[in-house]
């Protein structure tokens, strides 16, 4: 039986958000997604065992770019036909939950030896968060009726008042090889924190809050199962070496979609590791 909750996905061709989307569809949650290539997203879901029939019944894909406010607004404001799970997009209400797995996809060797790995789109994460927030405004809903943003980020970029959330031996890797992508993700997290720490009025915020899900170094493959993931808030982080993308996506489904999000996670980072 399908759920009445609606969930918007961004960056779902990546395997963290994509695995979460697959779990949502498998459990008949009604979802929307933005994709530059809808067929690529459909093929990715098929490879994860989601049939074309399930996709057509529970998923509406909008073709577009994450920096296009109107395309993003379409994904965030669906209307459900009362007799089916078919979605239209001419309504003022928003989805119940937003899951963003936006991240860089193209890397190159940077001439700076202190930060040798560059990314082609160096502001994609911070721009994505700004576009999502802009597409939700103006909002006339009270705070409790606004969507919550689940943002897939990374360890290694915690606020300075938080303890280290990566193994000591990862420090050179994160600060050297991964400097450029982590600067972008750090700016994205900072934008969200600043919005809720500032004097921005509640009615000028399109979301009721956010959770930064922060996995350690990601791997492919089957993983160990979402149940094996250790997790902790950024003030008491779970520190570990690796975690599989599939496990991260399924953990987000089980802990953030299927059940109520823990109140202590809202406005903070939650680190994941095996």
Q: Tokens 């060797």 map to which residue?
A: 109
CA angle 102, 43, 243 (to 5 degrees): 50
Provide the pLDDT for residue 87. Answer: 46
Provide the pLDDT for residue 5. Answer: 85
- The tokens describing 190, both together, are 């900072």
In the DSSP assignment, the letter for residue 66 is: T
- Beta-bridge partners for 215: 272
In the DSSP assignment, the letter for residue 242 is: -
Q: How far apart are the first and last CA of the chain?
A: 33
Could you tell me the sign of the dihedral formed by the alpha carbons of 103, 105, 106, 107, in that order? positive
Calpha distance 58→60 (Å, rounded) = 7
- The tokens describing 116, both together, are 């040798």
Provide the pLDDT for residue 86. Answer: 44
Q: For the chain, which residues make up each domain, given as ranges?
A: 6-105+121-163+179-273
pTM score, whole prediction: 0.90
Q: Tokens 């239209």 map to which residue?
A: 88
Provide the pLDDT for residue 114. Answer: 65
Provide the pLDDT for residue 254. Answer: 97
Low-confidence ranges of the chain (pLDDT < 70): 1-3, 79-92, 106-108, 110, 114-116, 118, 140, 198-200, 203
CATH fold of 6-105+121-163+179-273 reads: Rossmann fold (3.40.50)
pLDDT tens for residues 184-243?
Answer: 999 999 988 888 876 667 767 889 999 999 999 999 998 999 999 999 999 999 999 999
Provide the pLDDT for residue 266. Answer: 95
Provide the pLDDT for residue 85. Answer: 43
Reduced to 3 states, what is the DSSP secondary structure of residue 77? coil
């Amino acid at each position: 039986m399908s759920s009445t909750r609606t969930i918007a996905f961004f960056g779902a061709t990546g395997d963290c958000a994509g695995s979460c989307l697959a779990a949502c569809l498998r459990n008949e949650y009604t979802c929307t997604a933005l994709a530059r290539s809808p067929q690529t997203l459909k093929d990715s879901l098929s490879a994860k065992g989601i049939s074309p029939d399930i996709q057509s019944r529970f998923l509406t894909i909008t073709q577009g770019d994450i920096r296009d406010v109107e395309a993003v607004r379409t994904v965030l404001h669906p209307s459900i036909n009362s007799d089916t799970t078919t979605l239209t997009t001419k309504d003022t209400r928003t989805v119940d939950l937003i899951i963003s797995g936006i991240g860089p996809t193209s890397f190159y060797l940077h001439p700076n030896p202190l930060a040798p790995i560059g990314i082609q789109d160096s502001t994609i994460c911070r721009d994505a968060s700004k576009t999502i927030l802009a597409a939700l405004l103006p909002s006339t809903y009270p705070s409790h009726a606004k969507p919550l943003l689940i943002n897939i980020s990374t360890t290694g970029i915690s606020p300075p008042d938080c303890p280290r959330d990566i193994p000591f031996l990862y420090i050179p890797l994160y600060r050297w090889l991964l400097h450029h992508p982590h600067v972008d993700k750090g700016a994205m997290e900072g934008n969200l924190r600043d919005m809720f720490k500032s004097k921005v009025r509640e009615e000028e915020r399109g979301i009721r809050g956010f959770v930064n899900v922060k996995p350690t170094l990601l791997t492919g493959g089957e993983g160990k199962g979402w149940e094996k993931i250790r997790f902790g808030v950024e003030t008491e982080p779970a520190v570990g070496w690796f975690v599989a993308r599939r496990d991260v996506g399924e953990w987000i489904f089980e802990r953030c979609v299927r059940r109520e999000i823990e109140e202590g996670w809202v406005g903070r980072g939650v680190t994941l590791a095996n």
